[in-house]
Amino acid sequence: MQRRDLIKFAGGSAAAIALPRFAHAQGAYKAEYKMSTVVPPAFAWGKGGEIFLTLVRERTNGRINIKQYPGASLVQGQQDREFAAMRQGIIDVLCGAPINWTGTVPQLGVFTLPFLLPDHKAYDAVINNPGVVNDYFDLVRKAGAEPLSIGETGYRQISNSKRPLIKPDDLKGLKVRVVGSPMYGEIMTGMGANPTFMSWADAQPALASGAVDSQENPLEVFLAAKINTLGQKYVTKWNYSNDILLFAIAGPVWASWTPADQKIVRECAQDAAKQQIALVRKLYAEDVERVRALGVDVHLPNPAEAEQWRIACRRVYARWKVATNAALVSKIEQVVEQSRGKS
């Protein structure tokens, strides 16, 4: 065999070997990728997930088929288990609030420190700051997922069945349902309340029966879940915490996709996040009026009252700044200060 023929043969053989491997990589795509969300598309959070999966299916011509599993049903309603389940291969796609995963990866809860993000101007400045986002995304990658984009779960407000909450002392003795975040538990304990950690699925009957007096959630959730029918008569719109909505893919799943599909999926997540944030803001602008229309008492703290709530959370804030990621929280604080026109 001539040398040039040998080269030609070798090249052809390499192509023959490479082709099946490429075909296998494409064929390795799952028929379905499972996405967990705590709430269904009737909520802005769940709607964000639905928008994302629809865009992905359309733009990949069905190559990547994501199915939404609301109610954290892939983990039997225990939303604090989502990140661990993702690591175990049970969940492929996350569209969720990192506060739910802090039991698994504490540093992912940096955005939820009490009163860290005082308003939407500060929130937008932070999630659009490349330094903050890049540092946070590095944390997510180290934890085992590929972060794609950031939406918004909404400012969390507190409601209860007993009395108006005007000052921190008013929380004393109340049994408050909180998500599985030790930090949220410490916030409530510090103000004399009795925090109870439970999933949202368990919280609803507990509120209805009076086993739990209070809960904290965005008012959009209050409305969509009809929390007023669970005996919740009083709301304080204190804006004490606003978590991001993180769109992310399990690391091994992300690595199994071609670079072209990775680019498409990332762009879909970014577009979905923009639409989801717009929906959250619309609902936030009208939530007080809508909740009051249900006969619920809604208190809007004046500046002096708001300062009392912030002071009551200072010790917890300081502790969890260190427990999460002090350097990143400091960077966030700086961006917030700049957004408020302070040096």
pLDDT in tens, 49-93: 999 999 999 999 999 999 999 999 999 999 999 999 999 999 999
Q: Is the pLDDT reported for residue 20 higher than 60?
A: no
Cβ neighbours of residue 240 closer than 8 Å, sequence gap 6 or more: 114, 115, 155, 156, 158, 187, 216, 309, 313
Residues 318, 228 share a domain: yes
Q: Is the pLDDT reported for residue 24 higher than 90?
A: no
CATH number, domain of 259, equals 3.40.190.170
Burial 93-123 (b: 16+ CB within 10 A, else e): bbbbbbbbbbbbbbbbbbbbbbbbbbebebb
- What six digits make up the tokens of 144? 């085992």
What is the model's pLDDT at position 14? 38
Does 1 map to a domain?
Answer: no
Residues 212, 302 share a domain: yes
| DSSP secondary structure letter of residue 170 | G
Instruction: Tell me which residue range forms the domain holding 187.
Output: 157-241+286-339
Phi, psi of 99 (to 5 degrees): -55, -30
What predicted TM-score, i.e. pTM, was given to this entire model? 0.89
Q: How many domains does the chain have?
A: 2
For the segment 215-236, the average pLDDT, to the nearest whole number, is 96
| Side-chain-side CA neighbours of residue 326 (13 Å) | 4
Query: What percentage of the chain has pLDDT greater than the value 90?
Result: 87
pLDDT in tens, 179-223: 888 999 999 999 999 999 998 889 999 999 999 999 999 999 999
For the segment 160-188, the average pLDDT, to the nearest whole number, is 95
Query: What percentage of the chain has pLDDT greater than the value 70?
Result: 92
- How would you classify residue 148: left for phi > 0, otherwise alpha for psi between -120 and 50, otherwise beta? alpha
Does 182 map to a domain?
Answer: yes
Residue 343 to residue 340: CA distance in whole angstroms: 9
Does 19 map to a domain?
Answer: no
pLDDT in tens, 269-284: 999 999 999 999 999 9
Kindly give the pairing relationship between strand 66-69 and strand 33-36: parallel
270: number of Cβ within 10 Å: 16
pLDDT in tens, 293-315: 999 999 999 999 999 999 999 99
Residues 45, 163 share a domain: no
What is the model's pLDDT at position 28? 86
Lowest mean pLDDT among 29-33, 145-149, 178-182, 330-334: 178-182
Residues 161, 135 share a domain: no
Residue 342 — pLDDT band, cuts 50, 70, 90? low
